[in-house]
Structure 1
Amino acid sequence: MAAYALRRLLLALGTLWLAGSLVFLALLLLPGDPVQAILGLEASPEARAALERALGLDRPPLPRYLDWLWGLLRLDLGESIRYGKPVGELLEERLPLTLALVGLGLSGALLLALPLALLALRSPPLDLLLSGLMAFLQSLPTFFLGVVLLYAFAVHLPLLPASGFPGWERPLEALRHLLLPAFTLALARAAILFRMARGSLLEVLSQDYIRTARAKGVPEGRVLLKHALKPASLPLVTLLGLEGGFLLTGAVVVEAVFALPGLGSLALTALEARDYPLLQGLVVAMAALIVLFNLAVDLLYGLLDPRIEYA
């Protein structure tokens, strides 16, 4: 397993290089420029030229790309044009909130989907009802779902804060501010996890050893929890690896709705300001998180099924 993890980490370095290179190319084609975003349309040519020299934007793309690549090898992502601070420092400030939001959202989606899938298999009418409800939730855009939940639980029933984040100095208050955004993410992804869990459980329940357990008089709840749940969890774990990436991108929308200072809101600010170093650093950071998340999921297979061997 150690050799497999090492190979995956080496492959991850190539993935990060490719992601950063593609976003560098995309930013060259993006209309607008940071000089105009900072100085406005009325700036003089002399002021524009001076700022371009200060930001290094007067140089050809290739030397700028090579400088960025050398900095990436040294874990130096450059300095933000918009904030005037190192990109790594900004990521370090915003990353904990986004990771907490994604972790809560993924945990909430799993805690919603798995019990509902087990419950659906116990009753055909309930199965039909839950399947229809989950299909409806899956069709709703995350932005719309967030606005509806915000109105319901922060405006109409003022149970939770509507927006903002107090900081990690008060953990309980910070958790209250994250509950509603995390619940938005959880509902948006629980429908997909429910369908996968239900389908996987139905497949496992058709196996011979399940019929044997039932023939021996094992209670249905014990059949589901002890004999069917663990084998059925492998496809679900695979889907969780994909959902981690979707939740990271979904956090951009949710953080905008609830005014949370995470990576998502930072990405929107960087895009508006044409902050090239910050945008590149954000893409590399998100790509690294997705790669590490998928690696953790791959290694989790061995814990769920000891028969799996890593080549």
Structure 2
Amino acid sequence: MLRLLIGRLLQIAVTLLLVSALTWLVMGAMPGDPVDLAMMSDPHLTPEDAMRMRALHGADQPLLQRYLAWATAVLQGDFGHSRLFAVPAAQVLWPALGSTLVLLGWSLALSALLGLLLGALGATQPRAAPAVDALAILAQSTPTFWLGILLIILFAVELGWLPAGGTAEASGLGDAARYLLLPVTTLAIVNLAAYARHSMAALQAELGADYIRTARMKGLPESVILWRHAFPNAAIPVVTLFALDAGSLVSGALVTETIFARPGMGKLIYDAIMGNDYNLALLALLLAALVTMLATLAADIAQRLLDPRIAT
């Protein structure tokens, strides 16, 4: 396990280095920079002013030298400034990441729980399998934006039970839960389809294995056979799916965050790219990549804990 951790952490470090260098190169090759945008927005700036601004921000240096200076500063904990929000980038990044991780954690936990229960129902009750499969297909084919708007109309507009969007001003758990309920439900419903279908298929395969027949011959209860014997082996592909969903939703929950006006990573990356805030966009992309790789590492560790036969 220690060898796995060391090897994967080294891979994560190298991957982040390559991703940052490639992204920096692509952004540096794009036409225009913050100084050009500043000149376009202020006609009183002269070419001499532009030269002084470029020298002040290091934009007159070669691209490789600028990248090395930026990477050195980031490794020292200096994330620079956000041109779009006019504050240090860290003041924008950490709240957005925290908001996304809260939304992500609750939605994935709910979708995985419901998906596993539906999968277990379909695997143990053959008559329920077509209904579980149909429900999963319906959930998977439901557009996120449509479902979110529908929930807002029903629970916020018509019934008035929940807020339509935003975040809680107070720090109480109950108030925060009211603002989280609709976006968490939206993501959970859309994502439970994959968990239901994967878990049902995996459990069906495990329940037909020889060791399960042996357990039944010993007179073990069906609940023990399902959750203690079949589930650990069937959970391995579900754990992998959980890690992939965690990585994609960190940077890909843009639609849900926009509909419910939540300041998360998806919306932050979109705003930074559209606002030409290259530093903030690069930092947000790297942070999303780091969370994705850490989630994959956690999935690998969980798989080895579930099945010690997996080689380390």
Q: TM-score normalized by structure 2?
A: 0.89
Q: CA deviation at 1:232?
A: 0.9
1:257 alignment partner, one of 242, 256, 259: 259
Q: CA deviation at 1:258?
A: 0.7
2:286 paired residue number = 284
Q: CA deviation at 1:218?
A: 3.8
Alignment of 1:1-311 (within 5 A): 1-30=1-30, 33-35=33-35, 41=41, 43-46=43-46, 51-167=53-169, 169-310=171-312
Deviations for 1:79-135, whole angstroms, at most 9, x for unmatched residues? 211223322232223221111111011101111100011111233342112211211
Asked if structure 2 preserves the Cα contact closer than 8 Å seen for 1:55 and 1:81, the reply is no
Q: CA deviation at 1:217?
A: 4.3
Taking a change above 3 Å as real, the CA distance of residues 37 and 190 of structure 1, as seen in their structure-2 partners, is farther
Taking a change above 3 Å as real, the CA distance of residues 146 and 58 of structure 1, as seen in their structure-2 partners, is farther
Taking a change above 3 Å as real, the CA distance of residues 63 and 300 of structure 1, as seen in their structure-2 partners, is same
Pick which of 240-249 and 146-155 moved more: 146-155
Asked if structure 1 preserves the Cα contact closer than 8 Å seen for 2:243 and 2:299, the reply is yes
Unpaired segments of 5 or more residues in structure 1?
none
Structure 1 residue matching 2:87: 3-state secondary structure = coil
Q: CA deviation at 1:274?
A: 0.4
Structure 1 residue matching 2:130: 3-state secondary structure = helix
Asked if structure 2 preserves the Cα contact closer than 8 Å seen for 1:185 and 1:250, the reply is no
Asked if structure 2 preserves the Cα contact closer than 8 Å seen for 1:32 and 1:274, the reply is no
Q: CA deviation at 1:233?
A: 0.8
Structure 2 residue matching 1:89: 3-state secondary structure = helix
Structure 2 residue matching 1:68: 3-state secondary structure = helix
Cα separation, 1, equivalents of 2:28 and 2:232: 49
Pick which of 48-57 and 140-149 moved more: 48-57
Cα separation, 2, equivalents of 1:36 and 1:261: 28
Deviations for 1:28-84, whole angstroms, at most 9, x for unmatched residues? 354654446556556345265555455443444232222122223323322211223
Pick which of 163-172 and 33-42 moved more: 33-42
Pick which of 274-283 and 286-295 moved more: 286-295
Unpaired segments of 5 or more residues in structure 2?
none
CA RMSD of aligned residues (A): 2.3
Q: Which has the higher contact order (CA 8 A, sep 6+)?
A: 1
Q: CA deviation at 1:308?
A: 3.3
Pick which of 49-58 and 80-89 moved more: 49-58
Cα separation, 2, equivalents of 1:58 and 1:44: 21
Deviations for 1:159-196, whole angstroms, at most 9, x for unmatched residues? 22111112462232112211211111112211111111
Cα separation, 1, equivalents of 2:170 and 2:187: 21
Deviations for 1:185-226, whole angstroms, at most 9, x for unmatched residues? 112211111111111111101101212233444443333223
Cα separation, 2, equivalents of 1:114 and 1:222: 16
Pick which of 103-112 and 299-308 moved more: 299-308
Taking a change above 3 Å as real, the CA distance of residues 173 and 303 of structure 1, as seen in their structure-2 partners, is same
Q: What letter matches 1:297 in structure 2?
A: A
Pick which of 251-260 and 22-31 moved more: 22-31
Cα separation, 2, equivalents of 1:38 and 1:130: 56
Q: TM-score normalized by structure 1?
A: 0.90
Q: CA deviation at 1:27?
A: 2.0
- Count of paired positions: 310
Cα separation, 1, equivalents of 2:159 and 2:248: 29
Taking a change above 3 Å as real, the CA distance of residues 49 and 70 of structure 1, as seen in their structure-2 partners, is same
Asked if structure 2 preserves the Cα contact closer than 8 Å seen for 1:142 and 1:253, the reply is yes
Taking a change above 3 Å as real, the CA distance of residues 149 and 227 of structure 1, as seen in their structure-2 partners, is same
Q: CA deviation at 1:3?
A: 2.5
Cα separation, 2, equivalents of 1:31 and 1:104: 41
Cα separation, 1, equivalents of 2:65 and 2:201: 52
Structure 2 residue matching 1:160: 3-state secondary structure = coil
